[in-house]
Copies of this chain bind each other. A is one copy, B any other.
Amino acid sequence: MQASVHTAVRELAAEVGRDALTVPMIAQRAGVTPSTIYRRWGDLQELLSDVAVERLRPDTAPRDHGALPADLTAWAEQFLDEMSSASGRAYIRDALLGDPDGGNAGQCSAYAAEQIDVILNRATERGEETPGVETVMDRVVSPLMYRILFRPDGLDAAYARGLVTGLLDPTGRWPGKAA
């Protein structure tokens, strides 16, 4: 049932646009009654939030480029690319919104932390010195997501690379200052 409702939301969003979605429309496409949807999700916003989190789940493990700086840089660039796209930003907003208990936002964050954990574990196995996963969340994921949500102007791959360089290079104390 959940899968057919999620599919109906994605199909209809592509056809009529996200803002035109209604619960009866989704129910009809999914072949369930509206009351089934209200019982399971409460309201449209919570359903959209669940669909958004599902769409934000990474499909694959991060690619292995053979060294921590390359792995983390490639991951940060791809994360920025996906999350700052029009659909990525719409999913983030939906995930944050219809989320009374904060579980969906936490799940989005957990996805990023899991991907970074894979990258750091690979680096540790190679014998590389690594920061902790929470430090990478603070230094790379947080600034990317903050700027996507609050100040997207001028956000580009060079900025994402600079965050990773600043984290991994002990001589670059305040990278923004030297410029």
Most buried by B among A106, A145, A170, A174: A174
CB<8 Å pairs between A and B, sample of 21: A93-B96, A96-B149, A97-B97, A102-B152, A105-B151, A109-B150, A109-B151, A131-B174, A131-B177, A132-B174, A132-B179, A135-B174, A135-B177, A137-B143, A138-B139, A138-B146, A139-B139, A142-B143, A142-B147, A145-B146, A149-B149
Chain A contact residues, CB within 8 Å of chain B = 93, 96-97, 102, 105-106, 108-109, 130-132, 134-135, 137-139, 141-143, 145-147, 149-153, 163, 170, 173-177, 179
Measured between beta carbons, the chain B residues less than 8 angstroms from A174 are: 131-132, 135
Residue of A93, A138, A147, A177 with highest tally of chain B CB at under 10 A:
A138
From DSSP, what is the main secondary structure of chain A's interface residues? helix
Give A150's nearest chain B residue, CB to CB. B109
| Of the residues B96, B138, B145, contact of A176 by C-beta under 8 Å | B138
Contacts of A138 in B (CB 8 A): 139, 143, 146, 163, 176
Identify which of B135, B153, B176 contacts A134 (C-beta below 8 A). B176
CB atoms of A135 and B102 under 8 A apart = no
B175 touches A173 (CB 8 A): no
